[in-house]
Amino acid sequence: MLTVGIETSCDETGVSLVDGFNVLSNEVSSSVHLHAEYGGVVPEIASRFQVEYILPVFEKALKNADKKIRDIELISVTSKPGLPGSLLVGLAFARALSLALKVPLVEVDHVKAHVISPFLNKLSLNEAKEKFPLLGVVISGGHTSIFHFNTINDVKEIARTLDDAAGEAFDKVSKIMGMGYPGGPIVEKKAGDYNGMGDLSFPRSMIGANKGLDFSFSGLKTAVLYYWNKSSKDDTEKSRVCFSFQNACLDIIEEKLSRAIVNTGLKRLSAGGGVINNNYLRSRMEKLCLAKGVELHLPDKIYCNDNGAMVGALGAMEYMWR
Ligand code: KG4
Ligand code: ZN
């Protein structure tokens, strides 16, 4: 079923043509460069950009898939969560398209879309259905959550962040040291440059045995701020802070994932979201899942960030099995 997936929840305008999990085209335009000077997404700028780009991105997605507008059989759009002004652009566009083409419309949850993103170009719809039940993990700029999926339509959130999302912490650490936005890739690169032995032992919050599955990153971010303000602020110090922050952040994530695996007894884990770009996190997850006998699904890097393909594929899944 030829499905168009439309993603406008934040600063990316993503439109994709998919047939099940098979991606025929995947176009993404981003206003990320316009937010750089603010160190974070400015909602008004993001929504203005969505209005400018939704139509050209849609037309490009059709063209690159070599399809005509009348070929579309299903429309899937992100309806939540996200910035209201940005979401509205995709939703209005998708509803108008559905009315004009007389084609069914599915409104999907962006966070669930990240969870199924590892299956893109790898599984058929039926094969994806066989992967449930599973643990779904979303680690992005807006979310750090673990879900227990019985089926695609029967989901329970079993862990969430009590304050900042992990990606947000990467962004703030980068901002504190004046290194640019988005911070994740910059901090990862800088951490990799560090070849000293001195981990700064930043706090690992919520890690005590009685603390459950929820995450917290704001104490870690504040510890970085206090350390940085008193430091020599030279380049080696920057690398050391990035290295130590990343270690602490990944220790927290690894510990919580390990607990979630033990608590639920689930034998499959599927992860998505911008922070899953991080190579250190990917290899830690691989090692953890290997040790625990869990089948791990990680997305290709192009599908870690927000995109229409994951939205299209999730819409097709939900439409088939609702
Ligand atoms: O999923 P995404 O594109 O948007 C949201 O839905 O939030 O994630 C963006 C987030 C940003 O906070 C960015 O800094 C982070 O993902 N990120 C990374 C890396 N690449 C992107 N964090 C850590 N390491 C990376 N390599
Ligand atoms: Zn996202």
Q: What is the structure's pLDDT at 121?
A: 98
Q: What is the structure's pLDDT at 179?
A: 95
Report the predicted TM-score, pTM, of the whole model to 2 decimal places: 0.95
Under-70 pLDDT residues of the chain: none
Q: What is the structure's pLDDT at 32?
A: 85
In angstroms, the Cα distances linking 258 to 142, 212, 294, 319 are 22, 11, 10, 33
Ligand 1 in contact with 305 (CB < 6 A)? yes
CA of 198 to the centre of ligand 2 (A): 33
Buried b vs exposed e over 128-140: b needs ≥16 C-beta within 10 Å?
A: beebbebbbbbbb
Residues 6+ apart with CB under 8 A from 48: none
Q: What is the structure's pLDDT at 33?
A: 85
Q: What is the structure's pLDDT at 189?
A: 98
User: Alpha-carbon torsion 316, 123, 277, 258, what sign?
Assistant: positive
Ligand 1 in contact with 299 (CB < 6 A)? no
Pocket probe for ligand 1: among 275, 278, 280, the residue whose CB has the most ligand atoms within 8 Å is 275
Helix ranges (DSSP H) in the chain: 32-35, 43-64, 84-101, 110-116, 125-129, 166-176, 183-193, 218-230, 235-264, 279-292, 308-320
User: DSSP 3-state helix, strand, coil percentages of the chain (rounded to 5)?
Assistant: 50, 20, 30
pLDDT tens digits, one per residue of 159-193: 999 999 999 999 999 999 999 989 999 999 999 99
Q: From the alpha carbon of 9, which atom of ligand 1 is closest?
A: 6
Q: What is the structure's pLDDT at 4?
A: 98
Q: What is the structure's pLDDT at 197?
A: 72
